[in-house]
Structure 1
Amino acid sequence: MIFIILNMILGLANKFGNLFVFAFILSRLKSFRKLVAKKPVKISDKLGLSFVFGIFGIIGTYFSIEFEGALVNTRIIGVATGGLLGGPFVGLLAGLIAGVHRGMINIGGFTTIACGISTVFEGLMAGFMGKLIQNKKKKWMYAALTGVIAESMRKISVLLFSRPFEDAVMLVKAIWIPMVVINSLGLALLFVIIDNIFSEEEKMGAQQAQLTLNIADKTLPFIKKGLGAKEIQKVAEIVCDMTEYNAVSFTDREKIVAHAGVGTVRHEIGKPIVTDITNKVLKTGEPVILERCTEIRCEYKDKNCPLESVVMFPLKENEEVIGTFKLYKGIPNAITSIDVELSSGLAKLFSTQLTIGKLEHRSKLLATAELKALQAQINPHFLFNSLTVIGSLCRINPKKARSLITHLSNTFRKNLNMNKELVELEEELNHVRSYVEIEKARFEDKLEVIYEIEKNINCMLPPLTLQPLVENAIKHGLLPKKNGGMVKIIGIKQKNEVIIHIEDDGVGIKEEKLVRLMGEDNIHKDSLGINNVNERLKGMFGELYGLQIDSKIGEGTSILLRIPIITHIEERGQSA
């Protein structure tokens, strides 16, 4: 008898390879992962899992050893696992699937009905056991106990339903111990394997999260300066040094702005984007994984390319794609799910920091505008000159003097209301008119300002947008001319935008001076500066809405603004 028991135990133990296959398949199922993580599972997922566990119960039946008209098997492992993890519903349904199948296999007819019936109730029992242990540690111990109880239930079922009774008793005596040992051990081993799989994945996930945080900590001071800043190269170098990738690269929408690690001539900083996959990411905003270099324009195509595979994610500001982030490996088919997760996490992190940096830059510009407006409030030259003109008019033209006082008060009142994020076009034009009337009173025939604004057009724009541009045109375009000149302000509506032209026939701006005026740190000593207006417009509406300036020496300057038509501040993000 002992020899028979040992033979059955060894025979069933040879089937344990199924456990590893079973554990691997289970670990790949999304619904199963939710069960392990104790997340809510839909009824459709439970039905699918019940089917999977039931099928593995059936496989346990087929991988059995026939003994005295009965099947010595590991069927309970699949069914009980379903119940322990999925609860009574999954356990019952998996048991029903495996039990019905067992009932259809009539080997001698001796234990068929008993095993079929008991399998259903074993699954149900495992389900209630799963409810009891769902918050327990060392589940493998409870899994082993479930195996002992389940096999005991089956042997009791055999004694109740199998006839003749004497044969049933002899069978139970022969197979009870080996089936209890193997199935309880198998269930315990299966849960150990599952726990190890998920523990390793959690460990890798924690390491990846820690790596992302470390990279974030080191790159934060640099990434916020934007893709156009030279510091972006430092970000690429940090990521490359802290990871095992062969190269790391950043692009804007037109060119490579940073590259660290191995590379070719095509990867040099400043080189234009030529690859189709990069353009695809920029166009669609969706990530791309390339397992092998297939670019037609690649000079290493069909040779030993140093950067064979790449995972690429878009970089965004307020949901607008502004560039790409790439992680390269030197061998083909080397991108793993961990690479994708890391790249995705870093791209989202960098996108958030780029957006925050843009907002901080815009706040800085607004603060600069407010400071200059405050300075204008107490500018002794502007105030002195205005009051001098008004004083001289008080006797010869009191009506004109009163009008200028009104315009002067409007100008200062406008400066005091800089807390608004957007103002109506008409309000901004009124500020321009007040400023122009004061200047016209000072310079008389040397200054002419013409307004050509279409009727019934309106939009919202940042405060102090038009007045600084008109001020620049008058002071630096017209007044240097002996006979002065003319400024024309044109406003027209085109589709969903208002187009504003500010043109003068002044002295013009040299190209190198215009570059300085548009420089990031330029603030004109007498006004808010062209660059400040340009950056505030782009910061508010998007990169496409910057100033367009055309100037010719001796002929004059033309500045074009495109303002999207919005009626509420909340709409501005939709225009970018």
Structure 2
Amino acid sequence: MPMSPEWLAAAVVLLIVALGLAVGAVALRLWRARRDFGSDAERATYTTLHAATQAGRYLRGGLEPEGSAKAARHLRAMLGSPALALTDEARLLAWDGASPAHAATVMGLAARTLASGRSRISTAPEVSCAAAGCAATDCRLRSAVVAPVRAGSRIIGTVVAFAPDARAGLVSATNEVAAWVAAQAELAELDRSRTLLMEAEVRALRAQISPHFIYNALNAIASYILTDPERARELVVEFADFTRYSFRRHGDFTTLAEELRSIDRYLLLERARFGDRLQLSLRIAPEVLGTVVPFLSLQPLVENAVKHGIEARAGVGHISITAVEEGADAVVRIEDDGVGIDPERLRSVLAGHARGEHVGLRNVDARLRQVYGDDHGLVVETAPGAGTLITLRVPKSQPEHDVLPPVD
């Protein structure tokens, strides 16, 4: 049925009112944003910092094509140039902006800066549509500033900013952006170094486990083969599960539940050796079992309690393990009533000045500080003849850390 003129007029009026309200809402938001920043300088500062933050997210992996391509758009916004390119030492990593045909000339423009380490301005004929094969009639790329990205004494890449006219302001700004990119690359290198260090420390912990514990565990199993074959078979299975978990090759993090399961196997094997001399008490709050912890962060602490606490004393020794929730943290405490540690010796161990005994404490302490900061290092309370209490504290929420599936 055709709409009457009255209805049509009413619909048009409603549409105009709706559009007016929408435009008014947008204008109000813009006015509020303008009012919040107050001045043009404040808005410019915010825009620059926002672009730097966004670019930094993509450069934390270093000068790689995928991250560089995403960061280039934000870097170009920081400079206000019509086009920008990023290179490493040998290739074009990213192009963002107008007239992409000019990307073919970037490595030629960057070659002298990569060789000399000095910023330079390129103009025609190096920067020209003829040289690039650019057919754009409105192309504004007639000059370029090439700035080195320097990591220490090495030139690891360049930032190339194109413009109609490379003035002094653009030269200075491009150099500052290149220095900022270099800082992000160095942070990425530090992250990689930290990861390699953590992997090396995990290998050191595994090496510590293998000679001392494996020899004693196999001797304990052998002692049951003739007297209690069924017990020997059970211990072999526990030994296999423990070593499979401890020597797995991948994954820097696991759950507290998995670490405690591994500790249970470890203590089962140690009790086969010590018998009633080794007494154990556990108090574990269910709400902390899913907490993410660095792989092999608890077992060295329990081994320290057995080896340097219980094994070194006469008579029965007791080990207590508790894990509870305290605010936003999961707190694990491992206490023994063994021979204790001289505090000066302990300080030397944790500072990395002493080798040999208690290396597990030092490695776990260093890894906790690397991952969570100095506030999360081990807290060790001890004295000769007074036993040892070790406290480990980790955040319950760690969405940035990946955990491998449980080991069956």
TM-score, normalised relative to structure 2: 0.54
Report the alpha carbon displacement of residue 498 of structure 1 after superposing the two structures with TM: 1.0
Q: 1:350 to 1:548 in 2, by over 3 A?
A: farther
1:410 maps to which residue?
241
- Do the aligned partners of 1:446 and 1:479 also contact (CA within 8 Å) in 2? no
Report the alpha carbon displacement of residue 492 of structure 1 after superposing the two structures with TM: 0.4
Q: Which string of whole-angstrom CA distances, capped at 9 and with x for unpartnered residues, describes residues 108-161 of structure 1?
A: xxxxxxxxxxxxxxxxxxxxxxx9675596xxxxxxxxxxxxxxxxxxxxxxxx
CA distance in 1, matches of 2:78, 2:207: 59
CA distance in 2, matches of 1:484, 1:513: 25
1:442 maps to which residue?
273
2:320 maps to which residue?
488
Q: Which string of whole-angstrom CA distances, capped at 9 and with x for unpartnered residues, describes residues 295-333 of structure 1?
A: xxxxxxxxxxxxxxxxxxxxxxxxxxxxxxxxxxxxxxx
1:536 maps to which residue?
367
1:553 to 384, 387, 397: 384
1:363 to 196, 206, 217: 196
- Do the aligned partners of 1:492 and 1:498 also contact (CA within 8 Å) in 2? yes
The amino acid of 2:186's aligned partner reads Q
Report the alpha carbon displacement of residue 342 of structure 1 after superposing the two structures with TM: 7.0
Map 1:292-307 to 2 at 5 A: none
Report the alpha carbon displacement of residue 452 of structure 1 after superposing the two structures with TM: 1.0
CA distance in 2, matches of 1:36, 1:455: 55
1:223 maps to which residue?
none
Q: Which string of whole-angstrom CA distances, capped at 9 and with x for unpartnered residues, describes residues 379-399 of structure 1?
A: 3x5444323322322344444
- Do the aligned partners of 2:341 and 2:382 also contact (CA within 8 Å) in 1? yes
The amino acid of 2:266's aligned partner reads Y
- Do the aligned partners of 2:82 and 2:141 also contact (CA within 8 Å) in 1? no
1:230 maps to which residue?
none
CA distance in 2, matches of 1:555, 1:36: 67
In structure 2, stretches of 5+ residues that fail to align are 1-43, 45-76, 85-135, 156-168, 404-408
Report the alpha carbon displacement of residue 348 of structure 1 after superposing the two structures with TM: 6.4
Q: 1:518 to 1:393 in 2, by over 3 A?
A: same
1:218 is aligned to 2:153: yes
- Do the aligned partners of 2:322 and 2:334 also contact (CA within 8 Å) in 1? yes
2:342 maps to which residue?
510
Report the alpha carbon displacement of residue 432 of structure 1 after superposing the two structures with TM: 0.7
CA distance in 2, matches of 1:557, 1:35: 58
CA distance in 2, matches of 1:430, 1:417: 15
CA distance in 2, matches of 1:340, 1:524: 53
Q: 1:433 to 1:35 in 2, by over 3 A?
A: closer
In structure 1, stretches of 5+ residues that fail to align are 1-29, 41-130, 138-198, 221-335
1:464 maps to which residue?
296
Q: 1:467 to 1:495 in 2, by over 3 A?
A: same
CA distance in 2, matches of 1:541, 1:480: 33
CA distance in 2, matches of 1:475, 1:533: 16
1:425 is aligned to 2:360: no
Q: Which is richer in helix?
A: 1
Does the residue aligned with 1:529 lie in a helix, a strand or coil?
helix
Q: 1:368 to 1:345 in 2, by over 3 A?
A: same
Q: 1:399 to 1:517 in 2, by over 3 A?
A: same
Query: Percent sequence identity over matched residues?
Result: 27
Q: 1:482 to 1:414 in 2, by over 3 A?
A: same
TM-score, normalised relative to structure 1: 0.39
CA distance in 1, matches of 2:80, 2:264: 70
- Do the aligned partners of 2:79 and 2:174 also contact (CA within 8 Å) in 1? no
- Do the aligned partners of 2:349 and 2:359 also contact (CA within 8 Å) in 1? no
1:519 maps to which residue?
351
The amino acid of 2:319's aligned partner reads V
1:564 is aligned to 2:388: no
- Do the aligned partners of 2:318 and 2:337 also contact (CA within 8 Å) in 1? yes
CA distance in 1, matches of 2:79, 2:193: 43
- Do the aligned partners of 1:450 and 1:489 also contact (CA within 8 Å) in 2? yes
CA distance in 1, matches of 2:80, 2:225: 87
Q: Which string of whole-angstrom CA distances, capped at 9 and with x for unpartnered residues, describes residues 247-300 of structure 1?
A: xxxxxxxxxxxxxxxxxxxxxxxxxxxxxxxxxxxxxxxxxxxxxxxxxxxxxx
2:216 maps to which residue?
385
1:373 is aligned to 2:206: yes
CA distance in 2, matches of 1:549, 1:345: 45
Q: Which is richer in strand?
A: 2
Which structure would you say has the larger RCO, counting Cα contacts within 8 Å and 6 or more residues apart?
2
Q: 1:136 to 1:405 in 2, by over 3 A?
A: closer
1:497 is aligned to 2:322: no
Report the alpha carbon displacement of residue 476 of structure 1 after superposing the two structures with TM: 1.2
The amino acid of 2:152's aligned partner reads D
2:311 maps to which residue?
479
Q: 1:564 to 1:481 in 2, by over 3 A?
A: same
- Do the aligned partners of 1:424 and 1:461 also contact (CA within 8 Å) in 2? yes
Aligned residues: 263
Report the alpha carbon displacement of residue 38 of structure 1 after superposing the two structures with TM: 3.9
Q: Which has the higher Rg, Structure 1 or Structure 2?
A: 1
1:394 is aligned to 2:242: no
Report the alpha carbon displacement of residue 353 of structure 1 after superposing the two structures with TM: 2.2
CA distance in 2, matches of 1:346, 1:474: 52
Q: 1:464 to 1:404 in 2, by over 3 A?
A: same
Q: 1:513 to 1:35 in 2, by over 3 A?
A: closer
Report the alpha carbon displacement of residue 537 of structure 1 after superposing the two structures with TM: 2.1
CA distance in 2, matches of 1:136, 1:344: 19
- Do the aligned partners of 1:370 and 1:418 also contact (CA within 8 Å) in 2? no
CA distance in 2, matches of 1:136, 1:364: 46
- Do the aligned partners of 1:523 and 1:531 also contact (CA within 8 Å) in 2? no
The amino acid of 1:469's aligned partner reads L
Does the residue aligned with 2:152 lie in a helix, a strand or coil?
helix
Q: 1:443 to 1:453 in 2, by over 3 A?
A: same
CA distance in 2, matches of 1:362, 1:474: 29
Does the residue aligned with 1:540 lie in a helix, a strand or coil?
helix
The amino acid of 2:240's aligned partner reads S
Does the residue aligned with 1:533 lie in a helix, a strand or coil?
helix
- Do the aligned partners of 1:484 and 1:506 also contact (CA within 8 Å) in 2? no
Does the residue aligned with 2:319 lie in a helix, a strand or coil?
strand
The amino acid of 1:365's aligned partner reads M
Q: What root-mean-square deviation, in Å, do the aligned CA atoms of Structure 1 and Structure 2 show?
A: 4.0
1:49 maps to which residue?
none
